[in-house]
Amino acid sequence: ASTPVTVTVTGAAGQIGYALLFRLASGAMLGPNVPIKLNLLEIPQATQAAEGTALELMDCAFPLVAGMEVFDDPAKAFDGVNIAMLVGARPRGPGMERADLLSANGGIFSVQGKALNAGAAEDVKVVVVGNPANTNALIASAHAPDIPDSRFTAMTRLDHDRALAQLAAKMDQPVAAIRKLAIWGNHSASQYPDITHATVNGVSATSLVAESWIADEFIPRVAKRGAEIISVRGGSSAASAANAAVEHMRLWVQGTPDGDWTSMAVPSDGSYGVPEGIISSFPVTTHNGEYSIVQGLEISDFSRTRIDASVAELLSERDAVAQLGLL
Ligand code: NAX
């Protein structure tokens, strides 16, 4: 048997954690032949609930689980970590200003960035799920100077999957008929779900739908889907977010299929005029555990405006956390 891969999940006692851990343990992310060691990180008040989840994981008798431990100390939880899934974050409470939210999360992600820097394995890959995900990833990266910036990513795969599902429903086609859809920018309502390069059974998606559907129905539906789930379900997306986190990492580790790509928020290298120094979503392909931003796509005027608006929001988040001394 191969050496176990150490996966640390933060916010392990939360609702996404509960949906995520069992998928990881079953082999959904790393495949059926890779043993996995699970480190569950929580805040002290929630470690007991995390212990309960660990008991249930034990009761699943998953053959791939080579070890499991609950921590309230990031330094211990990230020691030797290969894959870090940063789910736990501080939600916005009543009366909380944006600056309060950014600084509360800054406290969490700066500490976790330092702990990763101190103890993570050489090959560590990080995905941030906890919101504001892109900016939290930037903060963690800034506190981990010895880890390449490229290893810090934020999740926009849920947005990607939501967009796939909406387009598939509109076309009355299976999701598998669709290729090359992309999410650009921030994981927020300003994101740009882009179908200008997408195909449905090989046919350009934009030739199959009205422009007004894209601008007035598709984009707002995808961008505001989180709020829609809250209003219908009475709680925020959990299993779908966990599934997207599995997909984000599965594709990063195992590679994207030929002729398609995924969406990931990654440090910009200046591609498509997105300034360096922010973590923004792009279409990416992955191979051998490395991702690359898809190059050479034509960007329409409509796309340009949408991408620029989301990037402007990311720049203002970055400036706000820089002013708080978090970068
Ligand atoms: P929950 O409130 O159910 O769980 C969060 C857990 O994180 C709690 O158990 C809490 O004790 C723990 N936690 C807080 N600070 C921590 C720290 N410093 N170290 C370790 N654990 C800590 O939230 P849940 O519904 O699971 O959502 C988690 C995060 O995902 C939220 O920030 C949420 O906004 C974000 N989301 C991001 C999405 C994305 O697409 N990027 C979509 C889904 C989700 O809304």
CA 77 distance to own-chain centroid: 20
Nearest alpha carbon, ligand 1 atom 38: 129
- Does residue 68's CB lie within 6 angstroms of at least one atom of ligand 1? no
Q: What is the average pLDDT score of the chain?
A: 97
Closest ligand 1 atom to 107 CA: 18
- Does residue 24's CB lie within 6 angstroms of at least one atom of ligand 1? no
Distances (CA, A) of 102 to 41, 131, 261: 21, 9, 31
Q: What is the DSSP letter of 210?
A: -
Q: Say what the pLDDT of residue 189 is.
A: 94
- Smallest CA-to-CA distance from 127 within 32, 275, 253, 299 is with 253
Q: What is the average per-residue pLDDT within 38-57?
A: 98
Q: What is the average per-residue pLDDT within 117-136?
A: 97
What does the alpha-carbon distance between residue 154 and residue 201 come to, in Å, rounded to a whole number?
Answer: 29
Q: Which residues are annotated as a binding site for substrate?
A: 92, 98, 131, 162
Q: Say what the pLDDT of residue 91 is.
A: 79
Furthest CA-CA distance within the chain: 54
Tokens, residue 265: 């928020």
- Does residue 132's CB lie within 6 angstroms of at least one atom of ligand 1? no
pLDDT in tens, 212-235: 999 999 999 999 999 999 999 999
pLDDT in tens, 245-258: 999 999 999 999 99
First to last CA, the chain: 41
For residue 101, the CA-to-ligand 1 centroid distance in Å is 13
Q: Say what the pLDDT of residue 95 is.
A: 80
**Total-model pTM:** 0.98
**Residues labelled as active-site residues:** 187
Cis amide bond preceding 148, omega within 30: no
On the question of pLDDT at 286 being above 70, the answer is yes
Q: How many helices (H) and strands (E) does the chain have?
A: 11, 14
Q: What is the average per-residue pLDDT within 147-162?
A: 98
For residue 170, the CA-to-ligand 1 centroid distance in Å is 31
For residue 312, the CA-to-ligand 1 centroid distance in Å is 25
Q: Say what the pLDDT of residue 115 is.
A: 98
Q: Residue 61, SS3?
A: coil
pLDDT in tens, 166-183: 999 999 999 999 999 999
Specify burial of residue 134 (Cβ count, 10 A radius: 0-12, 13-18, 19+).
buried
On the question of pLDDT at 1 being above 70, the answer is no
Assign 93 a pLDDT band (cuts: 50, 70, 90). confident
